[in-house]
Amino acid sequence: MTSSTNGPVGGPAKSYRAWLLSALGVIAVVLVIYYAVTSSMGRNLSSADANAAKGSTIYQNRCASCHQDDGQGVEGAYPPLALSERVAGDPSTLISIVLHGMQGPITVHGVKYNGVMPSTMDVLSDNEVAAVLNYVRSSWGVKLTDKGTVDASMVEDVRKRTAHRVTPWTETELGEQKP
């Protein structure tokens, strides 16, 4: 008697549970397909576009707090990258500055600075250093005196050659040796 009363009750409850499980399964599959499709669409961006986007994000996260969104810096405290001869010049010097930082007196666009820029050696990959420097060199109307594009293999090379470095560069050191 008990089993015949349980039967009709257990039946629909069970099939409802089965229906719910398969509905959840379908939703999961749809979500997986959705993410697969949207992330492959992201990969279809040309690598130059993707790099430019990445460069500006890295700049916002790692440089703008000092050098400001518009690259004008803060007079007397953080030099204006937009007006820097070094930014416009030899990429390998720039790569060394970003990897190891810089300290001591410098003059940029006629204004003296004597601060400390921290190293990014342990936080930015070769690709990221290249992306952020290409962003900086192609922003704010910077007129390049050395027109080369920075690529990850140049960063890798400078990183190897300057691996011994533990303190930020001074301007004298940057001038004396090609880092």
Binding mask 37-56 for ligand HEC (x = CB under 6 A): --------------------
Q: CA 41 → CA 45, 66, 83, 103, distances in Å?
A: 7, 34, 37, 43
Query: Alpha-carbon dihedral of residues 29, 30, 32, 35, nearest 10 degrees?
Result: 180
Residues 164-167: contacts with CB under 8 Å, at least 24 apart? 165/96, 165/99, 165/100, 167/100, 167/103
81 binds ligand HEC, rule: CB under 6 A? yes
76 binds ligand HEC, rule: CB under 6 A? no
Q: Which stretch binds ligand HEC (CB under 6 A): 20-28, 45-53, 76-84, 148-156?
A: 76-84
Q: Which residues is 103 bridged to in the sheet?
A: 116
155 binds ligand HEC, rule: CB under 6 A? no
Q: Which of 57, 68, 72, 103 binds ligand HEC (CB under 6 A)?
A: 103
94 binds ligand HEC, rule: CB under 6 A? yes
131 binds ligand HEC, rule: CB under 6 A? no
Q: How many residues bind ligand HEC (CB under 6 A)?
A: 28
